Amino acid sequence: VYRGGLVVYATELKATLAGVPDDLLSERGPVDPDVAAALAEGGRQRCGADWGLATTGVAGPEPQDGKPVGLVYVAVAGPNGGEVRQLDLGSGRDHVRAGAVVEALRLLSERLAAAAS
């Protein structure tokens, strides 16, 4: 069921390992809805999977590139396209990280259920 995954914390790895376009990263930075979508699709393609899931955001403790702590984008890519959601999770690094995981899995679950019906 689970084929693999990519951990691409560093911005340049988002491009080299996950295939996020360099110009997108340089124009908007790593915390962006289109970057999240590209991460999900890149992971899906590179792992040869039916579905890809991605998160990108600011867990803190400080804002990053003008983006506030708690801003997270979760994305899913599947055989029939993808979806991105913006989350505003407040502060607290552990809270932001846990909330991002829960919401990413919720998004995937919803998309899987919709694809099955």
Taking a C-beta distance cutoff of 8 angstroms, is the pair 90, 70 a contact? yes
Could you give the percent of the chain with pLDDT greater than 90?
98
The answer on pLDDT for 19 being more than 90 is yes
pLDDT, residue 1, reads 84
Taking a C-beta distance cutoff of 8 angstroms, is the pair 24, 32 a contact? yes
- The set of residues, in sequence order, having a beta carbon less than 8 Å from that of 16 and lying 6+ positions away, is none
What are 32-72's pLDDT values in tens digits? 999 999 999 999 999 999 999 999 999 999 999 999 999 99
- The set of residues, in sequence order, having a beta carbon less than 8 Å from that of 117 and lying 6+ positions away, is none
pLDDT, residue 72, reads 98
> What CATH superfamily is the domain 11-116?
CinA-like (3.90.950.20)
Strand, helix or coil at 3? coil
pLDDT, residue 111, reads 96
Q: Are strands 71-78 and 81-88 parallel, antiparallel or unpaired?
A: antiparallel
